[in-house]
């Protein structure tokens, strides 16, 4: 029997059929509760573009590889839900110096650890500052995205099996700077209300600040004026290293203000480990133990659940 090859018209039709069959699956996957969700209903506050961001080329010899996203104009949340939820959620703000976002090393790699404790995880890919006007602080749009994300998470509390009063923030590096501002600014949102979601609180119930970047004002040597700790600030867990060029003095001063205001807090300054380690260990440093200390703190605060015996 001779098999005849497809002609060009048949090939085109096959391609169309394949697209129609796979396109709905792609849409369903994007809408699945364990994938990604846009933070804003359309254009983000003050934006004119809907660019989702692009990944920079991977760096040669970097093992494991690290993803770095740039030109993010439409922020999104990657959702990681635990098998046994305990009602707690954490919004992760990755680092990247505001010129990029590192969604794995300082984001999704924390999800298995937190999910194991029953905590739902939401990794925010906030806007980067390629088009930020010089008159606007580089942290402002990421702060807007974080505030909106907290409100979005609370608005979906029933769907994601969380309690609206158990939603915290975990910030790394530049994300830690945003988290420190977010931790202390209360419900004073940095954007105008869009819809009914913005009636909800944009204040975290607790925060984990992991090597928060440049929280000291270079001129005054004091905390950034946007970091205003008060007696109503939520509990905090803070990590830094002594040899971090983004000085641990900033973390110490945040802790001191929390202490002065009688806010529950815990500070760990490791002797070495540098900056940007995320969840990963560093050779000749015990900085890789910080998630264990954070687990202890969350268990003590009732944020995480104890591991169930077999």
State residue 306's pLDDT score: 72
Domain-embedded: residue 307: no
Domain-embedded: residue 23: no
Identify the CATH number of the domain in which residue 287 sits.
Answer: 3.40.50.1820
Percent share of the chain, pLDDT over 70:
88
Domain-embedded: residue 9: no
State residue 34's pLDDT score: 52
Cite the DSSP H helix spans in the chain. Answer: 8-31, 111-116, 140-155, 174-184, 249-260, 290-301
In this predicted structure, the answer to whether residue 205 has a pLDDT above a threshold of 80 is yes
**Cβ-based burial of 150 (10 A; exposed 0-12, middle 13-18, buried ≥19):** buried
Domain-embedded: residue 262: yes
In this predicted structure, the answer to whether residue 22 has a pLDDT above a threshold of 60 is no
Best-predicted range by mean pLDDT among 9-23, 41-55, 148-162? Answer: 148-162
Domain-embedded: residue 153: yes
Domain-embedded: residue 147: yes
Domain-embedded: residue 162: yes
The predicted model scores a pTM of: 0.88
For 126-178, the pLDDT digits (tens) are 999 987 888 899 999 999 999 999 999 999 999 999 999 999 999 999 999 99
Q: Which of 122-126, 217-221, 230-234 has the lowest mean pLDDT?
A: 217-221
In this predicted structure, the answer to whether residue 7 has a pLDDT above a threshold of 60 is no
Rounded-to-integer distance, Cα 241 and Cα 275, Å = 8
In this predicted structure, the answer to whether residue 302 has a pLDDT above a threshold of 90 is yes
Q: Which of 171, 265, 167, 183 is nearest to 226 (CA)?
A: 183
Domain-embedded: residue 20: no
Residue 187 binned pLDDT confidence (cut-offs 50, 70, 90)? very high
Question: What average pLDDT does range 233-246 have in this prediction?
Answer: 97
Rounded-to-integer distance, Cα 46 and Cα 4, Å = 58
In this predicted structure, the answer to whether residue 236 has a pLDDT above a threshold of 80 is yes
Number of domains forming the structure of the chain: 1
State residue 134's pLDDT score: 84
Q: By residue range, what is the domain housing residue 126?
A: 34-301
């Amino acid at each position: 029997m001779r098999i005849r090859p497809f002609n060009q018209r048949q090939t085109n039709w096959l391609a169309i059929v394949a697209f129609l069959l796979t396109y709905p699956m792609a849409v369903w996957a994007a809408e699945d509760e364990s994938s990604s969700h846009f933070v804003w209903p359309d254009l983000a506050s003050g934006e004119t573009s809907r660019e989702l961001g692009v990944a920079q080329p991977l760096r040669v010899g970097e093992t494991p590889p690290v993803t770095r996203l740039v030109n993010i104009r439409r922020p999104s949340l990657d959702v990681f839900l635990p098998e046994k939820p305990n009602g707690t959620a954490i919004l992760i703000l990755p680092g990247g110096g505001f010129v990029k976002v590192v969604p794995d090393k300082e984001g999704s790699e924390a999800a298995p650890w937190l999910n194991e404790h029953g905590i739902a995880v939401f990794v925010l890919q906030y806007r980067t500052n390629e088009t930020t006007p010089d008159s606007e602080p580089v942290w402002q749009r990421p702060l807007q995205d974080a505030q909106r994300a907290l409100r979005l998470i609370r608005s979906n509390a029933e769907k994601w099996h969380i309690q609206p009063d158990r939603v915290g923030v975990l910030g790394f590096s530049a994300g830690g700077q945003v988290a420190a501002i977010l931790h202390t600014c209360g419900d004073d949102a940095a954007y105008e209300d869009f819809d009914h979601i913005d009636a909800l609180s944009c204040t975290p119930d607790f925060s984990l600040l992991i090597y928060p970047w440049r929280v000291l004002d270079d001129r005054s040597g004091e905390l950034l004026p946007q970091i205003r700790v008060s007696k109503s600030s939520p509990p905090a867990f803070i990590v830094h290293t002594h040899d971090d060029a983004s000085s641990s003095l900033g973390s110490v001063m945040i802790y001191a203000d929390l202490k002065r205001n009688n806010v529950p807090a815990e500070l760990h300054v490791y002797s070495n480990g540098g900056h940007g380690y995320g969840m990963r260990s560093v050779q000749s440093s015990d900085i890789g133990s910080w998630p264990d200390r954070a687990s202890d703190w969350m268990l003590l605060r009732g944020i995480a659940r104890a591991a169930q015996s077999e």
